[in-house]
């Protein structure tokens, strides 16, 4: 059985990770927590550096064919007014992101088949022809052919969080999906040359430290270029409305351990972390995170992309949000990255990494 110090020394020395080792790190308490965060911060500085990458996220449809028990966009949530942005509205939001200096746009939606794969491909081509921007897609589980088409159209990255690496819990939470099919999607994305992101929620009902350790090991095994870790936040119009929210410190410990397990990955200070605590952003940047996503969804629909309540980025105008982030980064002595922020070193399509500045 590992104790915390042996596990920390082992992971830093690049020893093969075991579940026990990861669990010993996740279970850090008292002074061990500061040692874990310090180690993650040092590793982050030595690998991906001090610069923080900003991504503009555009949530272009809140329709979803899935019925995830935790998510406000689930198809059975009839209390949520639904919206879809037109291509022109999406392009306007993209243009705003480019003008504000973003180098990446993240196009995200629920699993909405209203836009055909070809329409999405054409949108990607238009964005690429008009702007010097990297494109990240976050559109859920699709067939390999759709992923291929969009990659060919110019998409650089794809986020497909695995949510939990426990297959039974996964099926309970996502009744229409299976962990194995989601992982198949992630493998296709990697094969197709996408910089691929996975990630999990922390504090899901039925989850424990062993499950969380499996999440970290799975992302390491998949050699993901990006990993989004955030607390579960109960939404009042979902079956999990009475469940307890994820714990801030455990979410941060998971983030820190992920940094140690995937030293070169791009790890965002997730919106969920920032929603759980006003200090979430600062804390995450201090224990492994190097990416911030800012919301550029048009104000008129933004409050309808309510995956969980009290989402941190609901009201702020992009300019104001940017100013706040710049101020915090200055305080932390962390520069804004100027490059695209492509994945470095870890698997999944590193082709653009040398554009990095
Ligand atoms: N709490 C925290 N994160 C959530 N997500 C969805 N619902 C919740 C919730 N209740 C996250 C999932 C999903 C992304 C769109 O938002 O990780 O991948
Ligand atoms: Fe749909 Fe994603 Fe929400 Fe599940 S988590 S209901 S797939 S938007």
Residue 280 alpha carbon to ligand 1 centre in Å: 16
Lowest mean pLDDT among 4-13, 67-76, 79-88, 344-353: 344-353
- Give yes or no for a contact between 135 and 171, defined as CB atoms under 8 angstroms apart: no
Partners of residue 200 on adjacent β-strands: 163, 229
Question: What rounded mean pLDDT belongs to the chain?
Answer: 94
CA 230 to centroid of ligand 1, rounded, Å = 8
- Position 312 confidence tier, pLDDT thresholds 50, 70, 90: confident
Please indicate whether residue 140, judged by its CB atom, sits closer than 6 Å to ligand 2. yes
Residue 249, in any domain of the structure: yes
- Residue 349, pLDDT > 50, answer no
Per the structure, the complete domain to which residue 256 belongs is given by 33-332
Residue of higher predicted confidence among 204 and 340? 204
pLDDT at 243 exceeding the cut of 50: yes
Strand order in the sheet with 134-138: 226-231, 195-202, 157-159, 134-138, 104-109, 53-61, 291-295
For ligand 1, atom 18, which residue shows the shortest CA distance? 161
Structural domain includes residue 8: no
272 C-alpha vs ligand 2 centroid, how far in Å?
14
Six token digits for residue 213: 């350790």
Q: How far is the CA of 172 from the centre of ligand 2 (A)?
A: 14
Whether 292 contacts 55, CB under 8 Å:
yes
Question: What does the DSSP 8-state code read for residue 269?
Answer: -
Residues recorded for the chain: 357
- Would residue 337 count as lying in a domain? no
Q: Cα–Cα distance between 308 and 325 in angstroms, integer?
A: 22
- Whether residue 74 lies inside any domain: the answer is yes
In a domain, 2, yes or no: no
CATH number at residue 158: 3.20.20.70
Contact 271, 278 (CB under 8 A): no
What pLDDT is stored for residue 53 in this prediction? 98
pLDDT tens for 44-72 read 999 999 999 999 999 999 999 999 999 99
Cα–Cα nearest to 22, from 264, 260, 207: 260
Q: Which 8-state DSSP code applies to residue 354?
A: G
State the average pLDDT over residues 194-215.
98
Q: Answer whether residue 72 is part of any domain.
A: yes
Q: Would you say residue 342 lies in a domain? A: no
Asked whether 307 lines ligand 2 (CB < 6 A), one says yes
* Lowest mean pLDDT, pick from 159-173, 180-194, 328-342: 328-342
Q: What's the mean pLDDT in 143-157?
A: 98
Does residue 141 lie in a domain region?
Answer: yes
In this structure, how many other beta carbons lie within 10 angstroms of the beta carbon of residue 92? 15
Give the model's pLDDT for residue 355: 32
CA 324, 328, 330, 334 torsion: positive or negative? negative
Q: Is pLDDT of 215 > 50?
A: yes
Summarize the confidence of residues 76-104 as an average pLDDT: 97
111 lines ligand 2 (CB under 6 A): yes
Instruction: Give 104's Cβ-side CA count (13 Å radius).
Output: 28
Please tell me the total count of domains within the chain.
Answer: 1
Give yes or no for residue 235 having a pLDDT over 70. Answer: yes
pLDDT for 345 = 58
């Amino acid at each position: 059985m590992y104790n915390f110090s042996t596990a920390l020394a082992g992971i830093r020395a690049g020893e093969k990770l075991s579940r026990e080792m990861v669990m010993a790190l996740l279970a850090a308490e008292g002074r061990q927590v500061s040692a874990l965060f310090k180690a993650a911060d040092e590793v982050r500085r030595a690998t991906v550096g001090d610069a923080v990458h900003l991504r503009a996220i555009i949530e272009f449809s809140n329709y979803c064919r899935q019925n995830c028990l935790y998510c406000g966009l689930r198809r059975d949530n009839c209390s949520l007014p639904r919206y879809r942005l037109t291509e022109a509205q999406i392009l306007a939001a993209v243009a705003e992101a480019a003008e504000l200096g973003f180098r990446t746009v993240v196009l995200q939606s629920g699993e909405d088949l209203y836009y055909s794969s070809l329409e999405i491909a054409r949108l990607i081509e238009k964005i690429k022809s008009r702007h010097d921007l990297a494109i990240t897609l976050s559109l859920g589980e699709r067939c390999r052919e759709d992923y291929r088409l969009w990659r060919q159209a110019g998409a650089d990255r794809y986020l497909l969080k695995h949510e939990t690496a426990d297959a039974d819990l996964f099926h309970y939470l996502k009744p229409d999906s299976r962990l194995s099919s989601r992982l198949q999607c992630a493998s296709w994305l990697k094969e197709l040359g996408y910089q691929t992101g996975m990630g999990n929620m922390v504090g899901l009902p039925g989850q424990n430290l062993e499950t969380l350790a499996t999440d970290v090991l799975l992302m390491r095994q998949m050699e993901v270029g990006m990993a989004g870790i955030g607390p579960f936040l109960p939404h009042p119009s979902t079956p999990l409305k009475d469940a307890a929210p994820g714990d801030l410190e455990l979410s941060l410990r998971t983030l820190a351990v992920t940094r140690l397990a995937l030293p070169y990955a791009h790890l965002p200070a997730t919106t969920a972390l920032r929603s759980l605590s006003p200090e979430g952003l600062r804390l995450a940047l201090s224990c492994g995170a190097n990416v911030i996503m800012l919301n550029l969804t048009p104000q008129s629909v933004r409050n309808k992309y309510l995956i969980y309540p009290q989402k941190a980025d609901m009201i702020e105008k992009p300019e104001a949000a940017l100013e706040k982030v710049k101020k915090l980064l200055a305080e932390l002595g962390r520069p804004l990255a100027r490059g695209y922020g492509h994945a470095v070193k870890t698997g999944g399509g590193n082709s653009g990494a040398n554009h990095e500045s």
